[in-house]
């Protein structure tokens, strides 16, 4: 039921792990599931929970997640996204299948987004050595991954997009979500800007801009 069809534009594969950091993906999963600000409300975006096995895991907040699919069965399509939230287990062998999938997906041109501890996991595979990225802290990344050689591609920013890869600090779930939503192109550019600035500044003028961006008159070309 989760494979793309003519009625489905994309799958977002959420890797669910024990100790998953609930807050780091909260903005993103809510907006993708509700589709309340999509440029086309009929757009289908499947949020698929991906596990190493089909056994339930528990987030850092104690929420129980039951995977829909196992990592070994996934074949990413052009518009799909592999989403790696933070957690305390990204340097443990149990999550290696997720990291192998992510590394190979990046090499094949598929979209991958990782935040907090997941960026450390990616660094351990060599996936960040030649790609623009960020993490929680460069020094901590180097200490955790002695073989990491991507220092020249590191950017000390909350969230960074480098072609088909988005990475972020665990302190930047809003910026992370903003970059992912722009990558997926399910929102109009004006909607994404207004949404981000409303949450960042809490100024009412950006709510007005957000509402205005949803009008038919606000539609513009899809950015490249």
Which position among 45, 116, 145, 205 bears the catalytic label? 116
Distance CA 26, CA 220 (A): 28
Specify whether 116 is catalytic.
yes
| Three-state DSSP string of the chain | CCCCCCCCCEEEEEECCCCCCHHHCHHHHHHHHHCCCCCCCCCCEEEEEEECCCCCEECCCCCEECCCEEHHHCCCCCCCEEEECCCCCCCCHHHHHHHHHHHHHHHCCCEEEEECHHHHHHHHCCCCCCCCECCCCHHHHHHHCCCCCCHHHECCCCEEEECCEEEECCCCHHHHHHHHHHHHCCCCHHHHHHHHHHHHHCCHHHHHHHHHHCCHHHCCCCCC
User: Do 159 and 168 meet the contact criterion of CB atoms below 8 Å apart?
Assistant: yes
User: Do 47 and 33 meet the contact criterion of CB atoms below 8 Å apart?
Assistant: yes
Catalytic residues: 116
């Amino acid at each position: 039921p989760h494979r793309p069809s003519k009625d489905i534009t994309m799958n977002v594969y959420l890797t669910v792990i024990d100790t998953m950091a609930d807050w780091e993906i909260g903005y993103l999963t809510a907006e993708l599931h509700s589709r309340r600000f999509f440029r086309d409300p009929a757009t289908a975006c499947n949020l698929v929970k991906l596990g190493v096995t089909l056994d339930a895991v528990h987030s850092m907040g104690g929420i129980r997640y039951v995977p829909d699919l196992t990592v070994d069965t996934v074949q990413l399509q052009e518009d799909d996204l592999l989403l790696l939230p933070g957690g305390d287990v990204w340097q443990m062998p149990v999550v290696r299948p997720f990291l192998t999938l992510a590394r190979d997906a990046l090499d094949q041109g598929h979209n991958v987004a990782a935040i907090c501890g997941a960026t450390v996991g990616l660094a351990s595979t060599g996936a960040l050595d030649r790609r623009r990225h960020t993490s929680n802290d460069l020094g901590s990344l180097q200490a955790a991954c002695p073989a990491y050689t991507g220092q020249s591609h590191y950017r000390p920013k909350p969230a960074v997009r480098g072609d088909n890869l988005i990475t972020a600090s665990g302190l930047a779930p809003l910026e992370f979500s903003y970059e992912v939503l722009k990558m997926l192109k399910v929102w109009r550019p004006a909607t994404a800007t207004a949404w981000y600035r409303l949450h960042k500044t809490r100024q009412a003028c950006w709510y007005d801009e957000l509402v205005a961006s949803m009008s038919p008159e606000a539609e513009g070309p899809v950015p490249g």
